[in-house]
A = this chain, B = another copy of it.
Amino acid sequence: MSVKDDIPAIFLDKISPKGLETIQKCKEFVEDYCLPADKLYLGQMGEGAARWEKTPEITEKLKAKAKELGLWNMFLSKHYTEGPGFTNLEYGLMAEYLGRSFVAPEATNTQAPDTGNMEILAKYGNPYHKERWLKPLLDGKIRSAFLMTEKGTSSSNALNISCTATENVEGNYVLNGVKWFASGAGDPRCDVWLVMCKTDDNNKAIYRNHSVLVLDAKKALASGKAKLIRPLTVFGFDDAPHGHMEVQFNGYEIPKEDMPNAILAAEGRGFEIIQSRLGPGRIHHCMRLIGAGEFALLRTIQRSNERIIFNKPMNKRETFINSLAQHKIDIQKCRLLVLNAAHKIDISNAKSAMRDIAIAKIETPRTIIRIIDWCIQMFGAQGVSQDTELARMYAHARTLRIADGPDEAHLNQLGRGESKKFPLVDKFFERQQQRFVEVSKL
């Protein structure tokens, strides 16, 4: 089946032949390699204390295959010379297929949080950053983590970040504080940490007090002054393949001479960097979720044909049928919202597309959560158990109503924007009244 049948009409003429071909290859790679590999992956993960000590072997085999097929780093859009040059729209359509499988994103080197990290290293990194960290990341040789969220502060307002990097008398920088939900930090291959911290004590304009540090993770851990405290769970899962860690800095010192390469761009540019990191990443998350939602529905359609409930197969039951239709509609709504936002980034930039990105980010996770929850219900006990992907998918999707700002914060920001238009609206109605006088005389 051609992927063209899955693409909404309005996008068809916006996809290049190479884009279309690659979307098709993604679909096939996912179906032929990644989905079958998902079960292997879970079996190859370490258990208990060994959980974070090794990486399932299948991963590297899939990566080799993907590279061979030219399915590598597709997330790096046209703006980056390092990437294959797809539009956000094209990659969005690929991400939908990748999102069906657990391992597909890493297999194609398009997994969070590395994608965002590669983007900012490409955009803000100096030659050292690019050689030392970006290159092996692009090659899939190492992994990275972004240390931003802190326990006890609201992540929706980055000004709350309180982890500090303070210059001491010798001119070295000293890190103190605790980060958590540091995705990817548990992976044994994670070599570099990007750490958002406060480098200035409110002496500057409020948005210039934070910086992004680029740290050698292995070295930091070896110092004993940076520690992986514990993995955090998500509804009892480890949210693999990402994993989320709590990381503690306890006076970890960066020598003066290392500072130029330990700070991204420049001191005080932390906000600018994290802002730029968020836009396309949200689109990627949304499209992968849509893929997950579609896959959950496929599983459920399969089951509905086998499952007999009081002498009638589930797929002949009207409530099942109508709910299925509603879920397909809801997925389609999200797909249009997300792809429209992706296209807007393509024809302008992430900043102009902010409103559209916010809409996509608000709507998609909760829609997909609702859909997966229905699928779980259709599977009964099996749905909550380890015997389907559903509960794991649910848990992951649930985190995305929280990550990168909770729904409520985005809704509020969007609403304030709309509400502020009232002077224009007032003028509109005032003019109406003037026109009423004119029109009455017609």
Q: Which residues of B contact A329 (CB under 8 A)?
A: 359, 362-363, 414
Asked if B414 and A328 make an inter-chain contact with CB atoms under 8 angstroms apart, the answer reads yes
Chain B nearest CB from A119 CB (Å) reads: 21
Q: Cβ of A347 < 8 Å from any Cβ of B? A: yes
Residue of B nearest to A322 (CB): B411
CA separation between A325 and B425, bound complex, in Å? 16
Whether A384 sits at the interface, judged by CB under 8 Å, is: yes
Q: Does A149 contact B (CB under 8 A)?
A: yes
Which of B32, B235, B322, B385 makes the CB contact (< 8 A) with A319? B322
Binary contact readout A338-364 vs B (1 if CB under 8 angstroms, 0 otherwise): 011001100110000100100100110
**How many monomers of this chain does the complex have?**
4
- Residue-wise, chain A 388-399 has the 8 Å CB interface mask toward B (1 for contact) of 000110110011
A36 touches B149 (CB 8 A): no
**A61 vs B441: C-alpha distance when bound (angstroms):** 10
Decide if A321 touches B412 in the complex (CB within 8 Å).
Answer: yes
Query: Which A30-59 residues have C-beta < 8 A from chain B?
Result: 31-33, 35-37, 39-40, 47-48, 58
* Of A66-74, A139-147, A416-424, the one with at least 4 CB within 8 A of chain B: A416-424
Q: Are B305 and A426 in contact (CB under 8 A)?
A: yes
Q: Are B384 and A419 in contact (CB under 8 A)?
A: no
Which A residues, 369 to 399, have Cβ-Cβ distances below 8 Å to chain B? 376-377, 380-387, 391-392, 394-395, 398-399
Nearest B-chain residue to A37, judged by Cβ: B439
Q: Which chain B residue lies CB-closest to A332?
A: B359
Contact A419 B236 (CB under 8 A): no
Q: List residues of chain B with CB within 8 A of the CB of A84.
A: none
Known contacts A363-B333, A377-B406; A10 and B391 CB within 8 A of each other: no
In contact, B408 and A322 (Cβ under 8 angstroms): yes
Q: Which residues of B contact A205 (CB under 8 A)?
A: none
In the docked arrangement, what's the CA distance between A270 and B147, Å? 58
Residues of B near A324 (CB, < 8 A) are 415, 418-419
One of B238, B386, B422 near A304 (C-beta < 8 A) = B422
Q: Of A127-135, A170-178, A285-293, A429-437, which stretch is located at the interface?
A: A429-437
- A156 interfacial by beta-carbon distance below 8 Å: yes
In this assembly, does A337 line the interface, its C-beta being within 8 Å of a C-beta of chain B? Answer: yes
Give A337 to B353 CA distance when docked, in angstroms: 19
Q: Which 8 A-B pairs have the closest CB atoms?
A: A236-B236, A325-B415, A321-B415, A236-B237, A48-B48, A325-B414, A336-B336, A9-B344
Besides the known contacts A40-B439, A234-B384, A301-B425, 16 further A-B residue pairs in the complex with CB atoms under 8 A apart: A8-B340, A9-B356, A61-B442, A157-B309, A234-B385, A235-B384, A235-B395, A301-B422, A302-B422, A304-B419, A319-B412, A329-B359, A333-B363, A336-B340, A377-B406, A384-B398
